[in-house]
Chain A
């Protein structure tokens, strides 16, 4: 028997455990009062529940609802919501430690066992106790409901195990029948009154008024010689198992009338803490303080196996309600394990699957006909029921099977399968095989038609045997082999710890070796060309010579692998059915609830074996992986076929294609215009980009199109886009540089229409139209400029005319010196007529072979198409710009600059350069923190103390950082760990992140020591304790420390921001209040007036309800002593509201009465109980509403105006009245 550990947690002592019935969750309740919630499959701690005071010994999930229950040494039973992760309510009643808590399997009940010697049953729906079972006369250590019957079993330190009959209770609380008589109702009411009281009403325990018992002791099982720690029912048989401090595990049987001891299991050498029946095998599992887990044969009561742990005592063991998993809790944590592997032994032969089911019957399944056979053979007699066979090997020519089982350190069995009809005629039970030959070995497998190979138990020798089980050859191995796998005739695969060897048994030599860690299984592709080697977390694909082809890694354990007909891997992990391609790409096909072992993939059907030994057919959509595989193999015909026939369009596949560099193919799948636009820009398909831009018709897209068109030299599209953008200046320039004179002139006309003289001037400059410019200047009344323009351009007459018309004196105008006559440049090439190809579309980077296939898909950047669309759209532009342009739509010229063959080489160079991944320059993670976060704590963690201080100063006016020294260091140290890496180099620093799940290292954020929740649960409670203990100086220090820990922190939700703000306010009130009280205590006795004032002010601060009365009591007593009876009475009244009973209340009543009879104050103090005021944090004097004040930006403490600029007395770090933007704790 072996123990297969699935999960281990490290923590303090685990006392209680519970499996979630459906999800992979485990509750661990601990001696330190915490409860942890683990995902045992992923190994992650999901949550912690910390509301109990003292060890939590019992915890249990509800079988169907999303709740769980816990019981603790604080006498409380708490019911929690798994959804909100909050405590829903608390059941109180027990008067001592609660040992165990369990839910009823179908009624809304909880059963609890306690050191107060009682067992109580509670209704968690109406949150009341419905029964109290008394009778044990020592601690009750455990009490559980029977899974199906109305019984309870309990174990107690009084050395007995008791079985209780609760059928009366069940009847009473089941739904009332319609024919209920009045008497019945009376009886019911009276009974529930009795039981909801102490449970010990008249008529004895648990008796209703007619004396009928709701819960009666049915059997008292005596036999243990010391206290009994645990007792449990068998799930189906009338059996009970118990374990106690006498180190014994006892088995009891019960009938309807009596119960008796069956046997005792001896072996533990210290107290047995817990014991259960294994839900699937005929086993008893017990754990004890002797640091062992022991298994016992239920039928023979003999010890089977002992699992020892070095230093941890075991406290509890529990079984999963449905899965074959056990969990146990010990001194340093909890573990989840199972005893046997659950992978059925199976083998494939052509279209047949052979496997051994849970009854150890050999079954075959035909994939062609989708039919399973009856049992061909029963191997039930081989080994104990809890030892399933490990492997199965089938020899079709002799119809023999070879089964390997872990029995006795490894044994193989060889037998013939009877029934030549393929077994379909066999019986449902299957015949026992007539002749079985067997032998020792740690693995066995058929290697040829008439030979099989056995690996010796010491794993160093291979024995080749014939079907008569005679050794024909013995081969010594140079290395240790763990397991064998088939590899065609004559060859086998030797699976070693760190390698896989292809071994030729005939020649006794290694044919090939592949280093690979702990391969457990191997699967050949249908054509036997490839081999998938399965390890715990990876699949290594190799070819026939064991040369590496691909590797697939998974975080979650991989359970099985098989091949699709087209060479795709189909594999299962703990929770997914997945596929893998030969390039290492992988994807999810389906989520699985239970573990499945995939055996064959056929079209849309994946055949799997389940753990309970049945063939399960899973239907999937293979389109995705087929397409990806086609893409990988550049099988464009197949791709085209899939594209035409399937609905493949999904974001993930598009991004996959994109990621692989096939933007142009991705383009074929997208319909969404924006994505299409992005993709077409990326692959340089301006035609599509242009169409999409027209469809979207938004400025940002036109802008991007402009720059893309520039890159590709496509000025036609650019022109259109500029027109759309109304970018007239840019348009003018474009016309200028492309030599489009006609449109240049038109631009000037448009500018005239728009009444935009400066644009007009610009266009006139561009078109070198001197007359136009002079005219414009004249129109604008700039006669001097008009004159100068005319004069310098040699139009003296015109100049004179302007001068005389405007009455200008020519000598007043200073003309620029023109050294040389300027001639306007002439147009050398009519660029505007056709596009200038700077860079061609990347669509050409695809294999040319694909192009004809895609012609109907409009893949190519077809320049004539683009032109046509531009042309046709020119009309729209025309209407926009006015009729002037309408007739002059852009015309397509002859394609003299079109693409030529030799451009292609150039293009390919481009593509290559593009595919080079740019070198990533190093960025320190701490720099990222500073960059990613505006929170001071994150800057501290990054070691950027200066910027953190600036932030703190800006946010909450902190100017004195000295008190924050420790907190700075705590955060800084808590965010980094030094690990010795290469000896010879300085240690490597690793950074502790708070967003551990974030996959992108660039988004890293630091872990900040002590979060708000921890501070609330630990430091704050500590501070309250100090207040209660009257250690006020210490309390003030503690509250300051809390304040600092909150100011330098981060939170993740808005609620937590409020929570932090609330904590800051609590700190402020307590620091202020306690400082006032400390000041009062330090006064001279003669200073009576000040004494009374401070006592009164102390009552004004907002303490927690449980502390508020302290301040009121101080004030009440001080005022009464000073004969200020009127005010004393006010305090007394408030005090009585909080504390209505007890000796102090008596005193308060007296004072109140005294005040009523003598409503006078003998000393006048500066205190008005009826008006609102704040208290100055420096002087401890009132600041009435409306009076001037300044406040502290951090805590909000109010001060008299003269304290502005001083250090806040409450926080000790912030400057009173400093400008502040507010504390930032959330990103």
Chain B
């Protein structure tokens, strides 16, 4: 089964969400969707709201909803404030379906339950969202071969889908070598080389990694680097 509707109603919303065009997603009213898709539309809108940093708004807005999908979204919003509580929240939603599984996997990952997150995402066999989440978690934990296999497997059953394209690009960028070029192609296709695209920054990263363009000159140290440096110095002093 493919994620989302056969009629294509949600297609554009889903695409806009992955393209990072959150404003466009947020300007969509889920009421305009047919009743059976309304909940999924609402889920995507809520995820976009979380993505722009308004997880508190989502927690308030979805207070008391009955649907497991939306409860899973709430758990994700909760994970930004209290990952432990969020893990407990999703635990109550098990067993997961194709819609709740990717959300649950993200919550589990944020709560530090990495292996559980992976097995949850793996269990959702027919969800492209879950594939994207799984690919990212596997990459983040350095399990590149598995991430690659996940995406390649998904390509066998899934339609060409933006989430899958992106997951493929991430895997390509993590594996590198001759795969870099593929990532550049994917991003070029998704952004249409338009600098205004929210994915353009990622495209530039792919281009830098592949050696296609030079990195921009470094200007100021990141907070992370300085913190690491200070910590190391003080540890040495101790």
Q: Which A positions have Cβ atoms within 8 angstroms of B? A: 10, 43-45, 498, 515-517, 537, 548, 553, 555, 919-925, 927, 943, 945-946, 949, 961-962, 965-966, 968-970, 972-974, 977, 979-986, 988-990, 992-993, 996-1001, 1004, 1007, 1009
Whether B47 contacts A984 by the Cβ 8 Å rule is: yes
Whether A919 contacts B202 by the Cβ 8 Å rule is: no
- Complex CA–CA separation, A973 to B109 (angstroms): 25
CB of B173 closer than 8 Å to a CB of A: yes
Set A946, A979, A985, A1009: member contacting B202, Cβ < 8 A: A979
- Complex CA–CA separation, A1070 to B213 (angstroms): 35
9 nearest A-B pairs in the assembled complex, by CB-CB distance: A969-B221, A922-B142, A983-B51, A969-B225, A999-B177, A945-B232, A922-B143, A922-B141, A972-B225
What is the 8 Å Cβ interface bit string for chain B, positions 180-198, against chain A (1 contact, 0 not)?
Answer: 1110010000000000000
Whether B109 contacts A988 by the Cβ 8 Å rule is: no
What is the 8 Å Cβ interface bit string for chain B, positions 196-225, against chain A (1 contact, 0 not)?
Answer: 000001100100111111110010011011
Set B22, B50, B103, B215: member contacting A992, Cβ < 8 A: B215
Whether B106 contacts A984 by the Cβ 8 Å rule is: yes
Whether B218 contacts A990 by the Cβ 8 Å rule is: no
**Inter-chain contacts of B132 with A (CB < 8 A):** 981-982
- Complex CA–CA separation, A986 to B146 (angstroms): 20
Whether A515 contacts B160 by the Cβ 8 Å rule is: yes
CB of B98 closer than 8 Å to a CB of A: no
- Complex CA–CA separation, A10 to B140 (angstroms): 30
Among residues of B, the one whose C-beta sits closest to the C-beta of A924 is B142
What is the 8 Å Cβ interface bit string for chain B, positions 27-54, against chain A (1 contact, 0 not)?
Answer: 0000000000000000000011011000
Q: How far is the CB of A978 from chain B (nearest CB, A)?
A: 8
Whether B143 contacts A45 by the Cβ 8 Å rule is: no
Whether A968 contacts B225 by the Cβ 8 Å rule is: yes
CB of B136 closer than 8 Å to a CB of A: yes
Whether A970 contacts B221 by the Cβ 8 Å rule is: yes
- Complex CA–CA separation, A982 to B170 (angstroms): 10
Q: Which of B144, B176, B182, B235 is packed against the most chain A CB atoms within 10 Å?
A: B176
Q: How far is the CB of A966 from chain B (nearest CB, A)?
A: 6
- Contact A45-B212, Cβ < 8 Å, known A968-B229, A969-B226, A990-B173: yes
**Inter-chain contacts of A996 with B (CB < 8 A):** 176-177, 180, 209-211
Q: How far is the CB of A1008 from chain B (nearest CB, A)?
A: 11
CB of B124 closer than 8 Å to a CB of A: no
Whether B218 contacts A993 by the Cβ 8 Å rule is: no
Whether B146 contacts A979 by the Cβ 8 Å rule is: no
- Complex CA–CA separation, A927 to B132 (angstroms): 25
Whether A988 contacts B136 by the Cβ 8 Å rule is: yes
Whether A946 contacts B145 by the Cβ 8 Å rule is: no
Whether B170 contacts A45 by the Cβ 8 Å rule is: no
**Inter-chain contacts of A969 with B (CB < 8 A):** 221-222, 225-226, 229
Whether B136 contacts A985 by the Cβ 8 Å rule is: yes
Whether A10 contacts B176 by the Cβ 8 Å rule is: no
- Complex CA–CA separation, A690 to B222 (angstroms): 61
- Complex CA–CA separation, A516 to B160 (angstroms): 8
**Inter-chain contacts of A10 with B (CB < 8 A):** 213
- Complex CA–CA separation, A972 to B133 (angstroms): 27
* 12 A-B pairs whose Cβ atoms sit less than 8 Å apart in the complex: A553-B182, A945-B229, A973-B225, A977-B209, A980-B202, A983-B51, A984-B76, A992-B209, A997-B177, A998-B177, A1001-B144, A1001-B177
Q: Which of B210, B221, B225, B226 is packed against the most chain A CB atoms within 10 Å?
A: B225
- Complex CA–CA separation, A981 to B180 (angstroms): 16
**Inter-chain contacts of A515 with B (CB < 8 A):** 159-160
**Inter-chain contacts of B144 with A (CB < 8 A):** 920, 1001
Among residues of B, the one whose C-beta sits closest to the C-beta of A1003 is B177
CB of B111 closer than 8 Å to a CB of A: no
- Contact A979-B208, Cβ < 8 Å, known A993-B176, A1004-B176: no
Q: How far is the CB of B151 from chain A (nearest CB, A)?
A: 13
- Complex CA–CA separation, A516 to B155 (angstroms): 11
Whether A44 contacts B215 by the Cβ 8 Å rule is: no
Whether B208 contacts A977 by the Cβ 8 Å rule is: yes
CB of B238 closer than 8 Å to a CB of A: no
- Complex CA–CA separation, A719 to B145 (angstroms): 43
- Complex CA–CA separation, A498 to B11 (angstroms): 14
- Complex CA–CA separation, A1007 to B180 (angstroms): 15
Whether B20 contacts A985 by the Cβ 8 Å rule is: no
- Complex CA–CA separation, A888 to B204 (angstroms): 76
Set A945, A968, A982, A1007: member contacting B136, Cβ < 8 A: A982
Among residues of A, the one whose C-beta sits closest to the C-beta of B159 is A515
**Inter-chain contacts of B139 with A (CB < 8 A):** 988
Q: Which of A921, A949, A970 is packed against the most chain B CB atoms within 10 Å?
A: A970
CB of B101 closer than 8 Å to a CB of A: no
- Complex CA–CA separation, A1001 to B147 (angstroms): 13
Whether A990 contacts B174 by the Cβ 8 Å rule is: yes
- Complex CA–CA separation, A992 to B209 (angstroms): 5
Whether A517 contacts B160 by the Cβ 8 Å rule is: yes
- Complex CA–CA separation, A302 to B48 (angstroms): 53
- Complex CA–CA separation, A45 to B212 (angstroms): 7
Among residues of B, the one whose C-beta sits closest to the C-beta of A518 is B189
- Complex CA–CA separation, A531 to B172 (angstroms): 28
Set A925, A946, A984, A999: member contacting B232, Cβ < 8 A: A946
**Inter-chain contacts of B140 with A (CB < 8 A):** 985-986, 988-989
Q: How far is the CB of B64 from chain A (nearest CB, A)?
A: 22
**Inter-chain contacts of A516 with B (CB < 8 A):** 160
Whether A985 contacts B215 by the Cβ 8 Å rule is: no
Q: Which of B143, B178, B214, B218 is packed against the most chain A CB atoms within 10 Å?
A: B218
CB of B175 closer than 8 Å to a CB of A: yes
- Contact A919-B212, Cβ < 8 Å, known A982-B106, A982-B136, A990-B205: no
Set A555, A973, A974: member contacting B181, Cβ < 8 A: A555
Whether A555 contacts B178 by the Cβ 8 Å rule is: yes
Among residues of B, the one whose C-beta sits closest to the C-beta of A537 is B185
Set A943, A968, A989, A1001: member contacting B176, Cβ < 8 A: A1001
- Complex CA–CA separation, A516 to B159 (angstroms): 9
- Complex CA–CA separation, A988 to B172 (angstroms): 13
CB of B85 closer than 8 Å to a CB of A: no
Among residues of A, the one whose C-beta sits closest to the C-beta of B134 is A982
Whether B205 contacts A970 by the Cβ 8 Å rule is: no
- Complex CA–CA separation, A996 to B176 (angstroms): 7
**Inter-chain contacts of A44 with B (CB < 8 A):** 211-212
Among residues of B, the one whose C-beta sits closest to the C-beta of A983 is B51
Set A555, A919, A949, A992: member contacting B182, Cβ < 8 A: A555
Give B158-173 interface residues, CB cut-off 8 Å to A.
Answer: 159-160, 166, 170, 173
- Complex CA–CA separation, A1004 to B175 (angstroms): 10
**Inter-chain contacts of A921 with B (CB < 8 A):** 143
- Contact A999-B136, Cβ < 8 Å, known A980-B202, A983-B17, A993-B209: no
Q: How far is the CB of B212 from chain A (nearest CB, A)?
A: 6
Q: How far is the CB of A114 from chain B (nearest CB, A)?
A: 31
Q: Which of A965, A966, A977, A1004 is packed against the most chain B CB atoms within 10 Å?
A: A977
CB of B65 closer than 8 Å to a CB of A: no
What is the 8 Å Cβ interface bit string for chain B, positions 44-82, against chain A (1 contact, 0 not)?
Answer: 000110110000000000000000000000001000000
Set A927, A970, A988, A990: member contacting B209, Cβ < 8 A: A990
CB of B1 closer than 8 Å to a CB of A: no
Whether A984 contacts B170 by the Cβ 8 Å rule is: no
Among residues of B, the one whose C-beta sits closest to the C-beta of A1000 is B177
Set B17, B20, B76, B224: member contacting A980, Cβ < 8 A: B20
**Inter-chain contacts of B212 with A (CB < 8 A):** 43-45
- Complex CA–CA separation, A352 to B134 (angstroms): 52
Q: How far is the CB of A976 from chain B (nearest CB, A)?
A: 9
**Inter-chain contacts of B109 with A (CB < 8 A):** 985
- Complex CA–CA separation, A1210 to B201 (angstroms): 42
A980-B202, A984-B50, A997-B177 are known contacts; what are 19 more A-B pairs with Cβ within 8 Å?
A: A45-B214, A515-B159, A537-B185, A920-B143, A921-B143, A925-B142, A965-B226, A969-B225, A972-B222, A974-B218, A979-B170, A981-B166, A984-B51, A984-B106, A985-B136, A986-B110, A1001-B174, A1001-B177, A1009-B215
Whether A979 contacts B76 by the Cβ 8 Å rule is: no
Q: How far is the CB of B163 from chain A (nearest CB, A)?
A: 8
